[in-house]
Structures are given as structure tokens and as C-alpha cells.
Amino acid sequence: MNKSVLEIAASTILAEQSAIGQLANQLDEQFEKAVNKMHLSTGRIIFSGIGKSAIVAQKIAATFNSTGTPAIFMHAADAIHGDLGMVLSNDIVVILSKSGESPEIKALVPLIKNMGNCLISMVGNINSSLAKQSEIVINTYVEKEACPHNLAPTSSTTAQMVMGDALAVCLIELKRFSSGDFAKLHPGGSLGKRFYLTAADLYKQNASPHVLAESDLKTVIFEISKGRMGATAVTDDHNKLKGIITDGDVRRLLEKSDQLSGITAQDILSPHPKTIFAETLAIEALELIKNHDLSQLIVVDTQDQFLGFIHLHDLIREGIL
């Protein structure tokens, strides 16, 4: 009886899982030597390969770059047709290959060696010509591909990918590469914003509704509506923060009182509102908003001078939430 699609998929995953599990047993002093060599290198790590291994090499180079280890990708076929010029004297070259016997790889290896660069191979055959000519050999042998014909690179390329990640994570630890360092290399993403976007970056884009303590109720309502922050700050004559009035405060007042004449901002403000400094990270502002079930925060300076507002919508817009 033919296997179902789900059975085929499951067996593929299990086959690759088994291949990856075996990698841990293949780690040796060669892997450790490779990591230390890369860690101490003053140059770049150049990853190269042919076919599917080239695609994996490109991904590993991208992972290295994003985690603080300068790397580039060089296609083995292009290397022997001019791209070898990108290799500098202090670069380390890492060649990925399952067989270690591809014609392009065989042509490339002596050129790398003649240039005097350290050559590291990530190879599935440690007895191959590539392995024998490498200074360091990282063993990515897999017993069998997940492909039913044992032909299409499946388990072998997965093993290469995992070994590349293992190298990158080791270097992250050795370099003490922090989440803040990661954010500096990813400033365009929401993750990066968590580590550099501050309240100052947000409040300056918004209106800054505020009234004096003696302002009448009509002025308060007008300022809340005009500012579109759902609230207004209340300050003294010297712009020092005295409190906050939200639209909810106004609604509750209207529900409870029939006599509105003579009511001032001082009468209905909430003293000691939650505030943050301008240099506070937006991610910290989000935590404060969540913990206290707020919609907005007032931004002040170190002298408690009112600067402006940030709103929950600002954090949503920037992808922080």
C-alpha cells in the first residue's frame, strides 16, 4: 500500500532529525579549532560552495553578518572566473561540499592555498580531496539523504545548515554578542527598535495637550479633543507637571455633577500620573503601559517639566507591540 502524503512528510522529517542528531557525535577538536580561528581572525569569513551547498553557504554568511562576525559569500564557480579577487590576505575561506570532489571545488582549492589563506572545509566526506587539502575539516557526514533515492541534497544540506548555526552561536558566546549588539545590526526591524527607539522619538511626533491648573472645564475639553491623546496634562505657570485629566475623568464628572460652572482643571486632575523621561526606551514605556493598563504616558524631563505624550498607538505603529 502506498504511503500517504503525511506519512511521507513525517518520514522525511524524522530522517533529517536523525541526521542532525548524529552531528553532535561528530564534533571534535577540528570544530573547536575552526571556531577559535574564526574568533581570532582579523579578516572576514568567506563561505563558498557549489549547487545546493552554495545556497546554504550564502545563508550561513548572512547569519554570521547578523551576529557580529563579518562574512561574505563567494560562489565557487564564479570564484574561478574572477570573483577570487574578493579574497583578502587575512580572510578565512570555508568551503561547503557533500562529496568534496566537485570539479569547481577541485579547481578552487589550490588557488586558495596558493594565496596563503586558511582553508576550512565543511564536508560530508572526510577522505575527499577537499578535506585532505584543508587546514581544518568540519565533518558533516550523513548516512543517508531523506530523498527516497538517496540523491537530492536534503539531510546533507540540513546538516550543513545546522553546523553553520553551531559555528555562529559559538562565536556569539565567545564575542559576548548581546541582544543590544544584534539590534544595532537590525535597525530596520521591530526587534531593533526595541533597543534604540526612545520616548523622545515618539512624543515629538504628537500634539502636546496641556492646560493650566486654573483653566475652566471648557478649555480642558477643548484641549483633550484637539490633542487627540485622550488626555491633557495639567501644568503650573512654569510648565511643571501637576497632574493629568483623561477623557474618562471628564465623562465621570459629567455623569456625577449637574453643576459644572466654576469647575477648573485643578478640581478634577489626577495627581502623580505615570511619567517617563525622554530618553526612556519605547519598550520600557510599553511595559509601563501594560502593567498599569494605560493608553498614554506623559513625558517629562528630570525637573518634572512637561514635554509631551506618547500613546499606545505610537508603539503599535512602530511595531513595538
Write out the chain's pLDDT in tens, 321 residues. 578 999 999 999 999 999 999 999 999 999 999 999 999 999 999 999 999 999 999 999 999 998 999 999 999 999 999 899 999 999 999 999 999 999 999 999 999 999 999 999 999 999 999 999 999 999 999 999 999 998 899 999 999 999 999 999 999 999 998 776 776 776 666 666 767 788 999 999 999 999 999 999 999 999 999 999 999 999 999 999 999 999 999 999 988 887 788 899 999 999 999 999 999 988 889 999 999 999 999 999 999 999 999 999 998 888 877
- Whole-angstrom distance, CA of residue 109 vs CA of residue 127: 15
Whether the model pTM is above 0.85? no
Give the domains, in start order, of the chain with CATH numbers.
5-177 (3.40.50.10490), 196-317 (3.10.580.10)
Q: Is 75 annotated as a binding residue?
A: yes
Inter-residue contact 140 to 8 (CB < 8 Å): no
